[in-house]
């Protein structure tokens, strides 16, 4: 059965803005699919850490990523992330993964691999239910540049860190405010300055502050 949405909604922005929550709710309301691309980078990162591979060794990271079976559910009512068949939905949200995910997602071969898989999942989901809401950093610029609706969600690092801290506390993970803020700022810096498809609002994206704003928070070129 197909829902009300036709095609792709691209939802990009830095960490902690609530992209994933918004994407899930929007997809559920429209009877569409939902794809959390950050979860895919987190799955690869967890595998790299568990295998004891150096996150700065791009060749080793890429070789490991190539052999993984990554599974992210596209049903907004039943989000799930599995690595080689094991449910790791909790493990990919830990501070350990937060600290390493920017390095892993900066490896060009990892991005090529995941962008290919993301495009296949998007095509398959659109075919099945008519539309999909995709959240990430490069959806409007690289993964789905033809998406008819692109939204860039942003907020100050302080507001995003407070949100992340509250999420951690609710999930029973101890949250140190200063450490969460430092982690958010570090990821902003790494994600927006990497050479391969950095975090950036697409020129035709609607920014959550205002349309076509030139705020430095949108990392527009």
Residue 150 contacts ligand DC per CB under 6 A = no
Instruction: Compute the CA torsion angle 186, 189, 195, 201 (nearest 10 deg).
Output: 130
Cβ within 8 Å of residue 214, ≥6 positions away = 220
Residues 130, 6 contacting (CB under 8 angstroms): yes
Sequence-separated (6 or more) residues with CB below 8 Å from residue 42:
81, 92, 93, 97, 101
Minimum distance of ligand DC from residue 185's CB (angstroms): 12
Cβ atoms < 10 Å from Cβ of 123:
12
Beta carbon of residue 1, minimum distance to ligand DC (angstroms, whole number)? 28
Q: Does 187 bind ligand DC (CB under 6 A)?
A: yes
The dihedral region occupied by 84, where left means phi > 0, alpha psi between -120 and 50, and beta the remainder, is left
Please, which of residues 195-214 interact with ligand DC by CB under 6 A? none
Residue closer to ligand DC by CB (options 5, 191) is 191
37 interacts with ligand DC by CB under 6 A: yes
Q: Which of 46, 47, 101, 161 binds ligand DC (CB under 6 A)?
A: 101
Among 18, 46, 133, 137, binds ligand DC (CB under 6 A): 137
Number of residues that bind ligand DC (CB under 6 A): 13
Rounded least distance, CB 171 to ligand DC, Å: 14
Least gap, CB of 106 to ligand DC (angstroms): 8
Token representation of residue 153? 């969600």
Select the residue interacting with ligand DC from 41, 70, 132, 184 (CB under 6 A).
41
| Residue 183 CB, nearest approach to ligand DC (Å) | 10
For ligand DC, which stretch binds (CB under 6 A), given 35-43, 120-128, 178-186, 205-213?
A: 35-43
Q: How far is Cα 170 from Cα 185, in angstroms, rounded to an integer? A: 22
Shortest distance (Å) from residue 105 CB to ligand DC: 4
CB atoms within 10 A of CB 86: 10
Q: Does 136 bind ligand DC (CB under 6 A)?
A: yes
CA 97 – CA 31 distance, rounded (Å): 31
E strand segments, 25-165: 33-36, 70-72, 81-83, 86-87, 131-136, 149-152
Q: Binding residues for ligand DC, per CB under 6 A?
A: 15, 37-38, 41-42, 101-102, 105, 136-138, 187, 191
């Amino acid at each position: 059965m197909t829902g009300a949405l036709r095609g792709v909604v691209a939802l990009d922005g830095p960490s902690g803005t609530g992209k994933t929550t918004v994407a899930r709710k929007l997809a559920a309301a429209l009877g569409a699919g939902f794809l959390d691309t950050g979860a895919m980078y987190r799955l690869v990162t967890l595998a790299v850490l568990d295998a004891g591979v150096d996150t700065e060794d791009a060749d080793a990271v890429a070789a490991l990523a190539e052999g993984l079976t990554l599974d992210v559910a596209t049903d907004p009512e039943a989000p799930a992330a599995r690595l080689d068949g094991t449910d790791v939905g909790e493990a990919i949200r830990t501070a350990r993964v937060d600290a390493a995910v920017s390095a892993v997602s900066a490896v060009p071969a990892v991005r090529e691999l995941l962008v290919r898989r993301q495009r296949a999942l998007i095509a398959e989901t659109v075919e099945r239910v008519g539309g999909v809401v995709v959240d990430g950093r490069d959806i409007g610029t690289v993964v789905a540049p033809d998406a008819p609706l692109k939204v860039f969600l942003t907020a100050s690092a302080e507001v995003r860190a407070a949100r992340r801290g509250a999420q951690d506390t609710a999930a029973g993970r101890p949250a140190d405010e200063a450490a969460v803020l430092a982690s958010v700022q570090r990821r902003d810096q790494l994600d927006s300055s990497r050479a391969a498809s950095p975090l950036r609002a697409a020129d035709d994206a609607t920014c959550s502050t205002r349309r076509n704003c030139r705020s430095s928070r949108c990392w527009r070129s």
